[in-house]
Chains A and B, each alone.
Chain A
Amino acid sequence: MAVSESSARRYALDPDVRLMLQVRDGSATAFEELVLRYQSRLVRVLEHLVGGRHLAEDLAQEVFLRVFRARKQYVVGAKFATWLFTIASHVASNAVRDRTRRREVALAVGESGPVGVPLDGLVQASTGSMPARQLDKAEVRQVVRLALESLSERQRLAVLLNKFEGMSYADIAATLDLSPPAVKSLLSRARENLRQTLEPYFEYGTPPPGGGAAQPPVAPGHPLMDASSKKGREEGEHGHHA
């Protein structure tokens, strides 16, 4: 099949594009190789995006299925990873939307789950039951997870793609269908939110895996303690320029 010159260049540069073209032409081996290459990365991003291992694995399978179903229409247009994570982003969005709809009812009877867990609950647990000791590794993970979950879905995805996939602003822009300046601003806000949420662990406790100061991990007056500050996290979220 003919490909344009720039596509051919991409083809040569991205071995996954080559695999995907083999999938398009009916190679099961190539598909398996793509699954093996991407499953861990995909599940990791989805797990932190939707908060929940089982759901993440289900969604990852859905993503792979969509990749397979779309194989005949596949054209060399972008990096394979960008295409894959674009699909993942849609699949996750739909899942979160569906679940949010269900949770509007469920939350009224006190259900709690990974997405949208109120941070205040964590803070109470941390300050109330373990006021004067350093956080252990599991607790640090929990704090970081909740800090991540406090971001908007878009910020979270941009953070995950940047941090774990090492994607450039341009690639994140292609994945999220935004302009690179919009990604720059999105990531800046996300990192500022993370800084505000997590910095007190450095300020008032010791750095989590390190030495042994005896301060509460979350300072009074910190945004985590202040429910109103959470609204600020979404600041500017609607102003993307696509």
Chain B
Amino acid sequence: MATMPDPSGQHDAALREELVAYLDGELDASRSRRIEERLADEPQLRRLLQELDRTWSLLEELGAPPPDEDFTRTTLEMVAVAADEDVARGRAEAPRRRRRRWLAAAAALLAAAATGFAAVALMAPDPNAQLRRDLPILENLDQYRQVDGVDFLELVLREKLFAEDAEEAPPAWPDDIDAMTAAQKEELSRRQREFAALSPVRQQRLRQLDEQLRRDPDGEKLREAMNRYCQWLSTQPAYRGAQLLELDPAGRIKEIRQEPGRGFGKRLDAKDLEAIGRWIDQYATEHEARLLEGLPKLHHAGLAGLAPAARHRIVVATVCQHWQSGSRAAQPPISDAEAAELRARLGPEARARLESRPAAEQPRLLAGWIRQAARQQLGSRRGEGASLLSGLDERLADYFEFQLSPEERDRLMRLPADEMQQRLRQLYLTQAKPAEPGGHRAARGKPEGRRKAEGGG
């Protein structure tokens, strides 16, 4: 055991305090110097210093794993409940205060009855009223979900990202639900379900974003920034949005700045997209055998039973899928002749745009356009039930967001982008039941089966 000044003595206690403060960097220069002079002369004091220091460093052994996502979620939900209670209390207290102040005992009874009526009206709202309130959010749901907060949009605007002119935003929905077309109503109901599936906190955040955009004097500019960002995102691999959302607004901006293709956000016009679509079709025909071979073995039996036309649609969807999901390793290669063919099909304006870029950037821009066209192809086939794999990307996103456990999501997010996409597809596909001959959609695995499937790989 060390022999050193008795630290319980008054004098030594003061010295020890100085020594500890010295270790903690809390002494000014002159007092530090004094301690250092004593340390130089007194081996016992040096030893005490060492012991204090090394026993202190043992505290680093005390690990504490960070709380999991469940902790965050329940904390936020708990607080959301508290917020609701506050609102309810506020609502209940306001009439009571008025009652106390203004009404005599007899009149109070009447007021209480009236308050009761109002409360019932508030607590049992007309479901359509809620829908009407949420309409602006539902109309912009996809965009709001990608953006997630007004802070980010302000940064996009300030940093002049995506400053190129964007295509026009899609036409707004009618304000009156009854005036909507059947397709719009169907889409509305899909989005309503999607919105309802979000956590209360996330819902609240999107409501807040909508509110802020409406109130902000720069609301229109912020919306334009949002459109441009989302258009750019549509030229990106599908997981990119989720990946960016994991970052705080400043981190997202930093990440986006590193994308050399950032200025490519402007979409092609419909004619060019159709032309690329036809080129994709031709490409799919030429490479059909190889593309079919590349599909998961799981689907081979189902594919063999299909008519040639249906099989071709699947191949087109597959190639779109590959291009659109963005894993470079998985992207079907394009020969020089095929690239030249693609350029030839573009309209003069698009070709000029392409050629205005440095040669090194051109393939990247073309790839972005192929992705846009592929996305459009997949989109136009949605609901048609035409393809085994059409809309897979969307289902992947859905699967990623709603069915994976937080741990699995974290694990995936830590992988490099290409690997992540591949692993996600693998996870999804290992749960899919084999397609029935002539059937179109691979059934999604149940969450409870997921862990077992995962355990193997």
Contacts and interface: CB of A to CB of B under 8 A. Distances in A.
Interface of A: 27-29, 31-33, 35-36, 39-40, 43-44, 47-48, 53, 57, 60-61, 64-65, 68-69, 137, 140-141, 144-145, 148, 159, 162-163, 168-169, 184-185, 187-188, 191-192, 194-195, 197-203, 207-208, 219, 221-222, 232, 235
Nearest to A69: B82
A169 B64 contact: no
A203 B2 contact: yes
Nearest to A40: B66
A202 B79 contact: no
A191 B56 contact: yes
Contacts of A191: 20, 52, 55-56
Interface string B188-211: 000000000000010011001000
B54 A202 contact: yes
A222 B286 CA distance: 83
A207 B24 CA distance: 23
A221 to B, nearest CB: 8
B75 interface: yes
Contacts of A144: 58-59, 61-62
A159 to B, nearest CB: 7
Q: Chain A's interface: helix, strand, loop or mixed, by majority?
A: helix
Contact of A195 (B52, B64, B72, B204): B52
B129 interface: no
B121 interface: no
Interface residues of B, number: 43
A142 B82 CA distance: 38
B74 interface: yes
Contact of A203 (B1, B26, B71): B1
Nearest to A36: B72
Given A169-B21, A198-B58, A28 B7 contact: no
Contact of A32 (B54, B71, B76): B76
Contacts of A36: 72
Q: Chain B's interface: helix, strand, loop or mixed, by majority?
A: helix
Contact of A64 (B55, B56, B79, B201): B79
Interface in B1-41: 1-2, 7-8, 13, 16-17, 19-21, 24, 26
Q: Which of A32, A188, A235 gathers most chain B CB within 10 Å? A: A188
Contacts of B59: 144, 148, 159, 163, 194
Interface of B: 1-2, 7-8, 13, 16-17, 19-21, 24, 26, 51-52, 54-56, 58-59, 61-64, 66-67, 71-72, 74-76, 78-80, 82-83, 86, 149, 151, 201, 204-205, 208, 248
13 contacts: A31-B76, A32-B72, A39-B67, A39-B75, A68-B83, A69-B86, A185-B17, A187-B20, A188-B13, A191-B52, A191-B56, A198-B55, A232-B8
Contacts of B21: 169, 184, 188
Contacts of B74: 61
Given A32-B201, A69-B82, A64 B58 contact: no
A40 B67 contact: yes
B62 A29 contact: no
B71 A141 contact: no
Contacts of B8: 232, 235
Contacts of B151: 29
Nearest to A198: B55
Q: Which of B26, B55, B63, B64 gathers most chain A CB within 10 Å? A: B55
A66 to B, nearest CB: 10
Nearest to A200: B1
B23 to A, nearest CB: 8
B64 A48 contact: yes
